[in-house]
């Protein structure tokens, strides 16, 4: 059984931070069907989501107009596309227009946070792993000990300077297509503690047998440091008591959505398996 997982990310894309990873559910092999490994790929590329890309000269290498969206494919070279942006207007300067951080004066004019990292793990010219920006949030560090200021209440300027701002960073949600059929079958998203407002864990949901129905969901503390337990299934999807899932309207998301839209743009741009960064 072939398992498509790329190698390491070059240092020009890496950021400070390490991943502490707990057990996740693996997809079940389907006879004659190669599968990706959501767990392993998450672990290999999660470090790039710790902040802005450094030492990278980014350019828009192709644009496609799909309905009302401009789908822009961005990278350091035409054969190293790593980012997709979905905007209502065209733009030409990724470093200026993509919101990697929130500057002191607020988002720049024309800035967008509707962007994410994209990967083609099986070299078929279609995106099968998406890491999309949720926003900039205060995140509990994996090794944090002690009290945290309550973000749902008033806190001091000292707490803001010494605790909140140093632990605020871009937060992304992950979506995978592990059987490469064009539809998502795995997601991971962080969640917010409703008592104190901090992002303090992750949810991972899977369609492990690729039948179109998600049947596995687990909640984890911080960045998969320890299992909290199974999620609660509701009529609207999975939930975690006392937490609000961030970035996704619900887990699992509805079929379709961003992956088909991005891949329609990739087809219009005539991208191939050699166009994407994954190697």
Instruction: Determine the Cα angle at 118 with ends 28 and 217, to 5°.
Output: 35
Q: Which of 181, 236, 229 is nearest to 204 (CA)?
A: 229
Gyration radius (Cα) of the chain, Å: 19
Confidence tier at 55 by pLDDT (50, 70, 90):
low
Q: Tens digits of per-residue pLDDT, 72-92?
A: 999 988 778 999 999 888 887
- DSSP annotation of 132 reads E
Mean pLDDT, range 105-113, rounded to an integer: 66
**CB-CB contact of 130 with 115 (8 Å):** no
Whether the pLDDT of residue 118 is over 90: the answer is yes
pLDDT at 105: 56
Over residues 10-27, the pLDDT tens digits come to 333 333 233 333 333 344
| pLDDT over 80 (residue 111) | no
Which candidate, 212, 195, 194, 214, places its Cα nearest to that of 204? Answer: 214
CA–CA dist 120, 206 (Å, integer): 19
Nearest to 118, CA basis, from 6, 210, 216: 6
pLDDT of residue 151: 95
pLDDT tens figures, 214-237: 999 999 998 777 889 999 999 999
What lies within 8 Å, CB to CB, of 212 at 6+ separation is 183, 255
One-character DSSP codes across 27-52: PPPBTTB-EE-HHHHHHHHGGGGGS-
pLDDT at 278: 59
Tokens of 84: 């997709």
- Strand 232-234 relative to strand 226-230, pairing: unpaired
Give the pTM: 0.84
The pLDDT score that the predictor gives to residue 77 is 82
* Length, in residues, of the chain: 279
pLDDT at 209: 93
The number of beta carbons lying within 10 Å of the beta carbon of residue 1 is 9
- Which two tokens mark 68? 């009302």
What's the rounded Cα separation, in Å, for the pair 254 and 242? Answer: 23
Gap between the terminal Cα atoms of the chain: 19
Residue 82: burial class (beta carbons within 10 Å; 0-12, 13-18, 19+)? buried
């Amino acid at each position: 059984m072939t398992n498509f997982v790329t190698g390491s990310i070059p240092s020009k894309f890496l950021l400070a931070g390490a991943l502490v990873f707990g057990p996740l559910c693996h997809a079940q092999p389907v006879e004659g069907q190669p599968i990706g490994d959501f767990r392993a790929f998450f672990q290999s590329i999660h470090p790039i989501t710790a902040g802005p890309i450094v030492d990278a000269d980014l350019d828009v290498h192709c644009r496609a107009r799909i309905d009302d969206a401009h789908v822009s494919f961005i990278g350091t070279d035409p054969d190293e596309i790593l980012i997709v942006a979905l905007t209502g207007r065209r733009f030409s300067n990724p470093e200026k227009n993509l919101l990697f951080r929130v500057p002191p004066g607020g988002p720049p004019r024309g800035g967008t946070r509707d962007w994410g990292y994209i990967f083609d793990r099986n070299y078929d010219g279609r995106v099968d792993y998406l890491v999309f920006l949720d926003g900039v949030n205060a995140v509990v560090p994996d090794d944090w000990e002690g009290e945290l200021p309550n973000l749902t209440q008033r806190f001091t300027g000292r707490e803001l300077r010494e605790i909140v701002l140093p632990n605020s960073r871009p937060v992304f949600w992950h979506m995978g297509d592990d059987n490469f059929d064009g539809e998502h079958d795995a997601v991971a998203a962080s969640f917010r503690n409703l008592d104190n407002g901090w992002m303090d864990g992750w949810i991972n949901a899977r369609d492990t047998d690729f039948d179109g129905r998600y049947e596995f969901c687990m909640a984890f503390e911080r960045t998969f440091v320890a299992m909290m337990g199974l999620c609660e299934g509701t009529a609207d999807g999975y939930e975690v008591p006392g937490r609000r899932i961030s970035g996704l309207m619900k887990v699992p998301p509805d079929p379709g959505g961003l992956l088909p839209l991005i891949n329609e743009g990739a087809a219009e741009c005539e991208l191939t398996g050699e166009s994407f960064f994954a190697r």
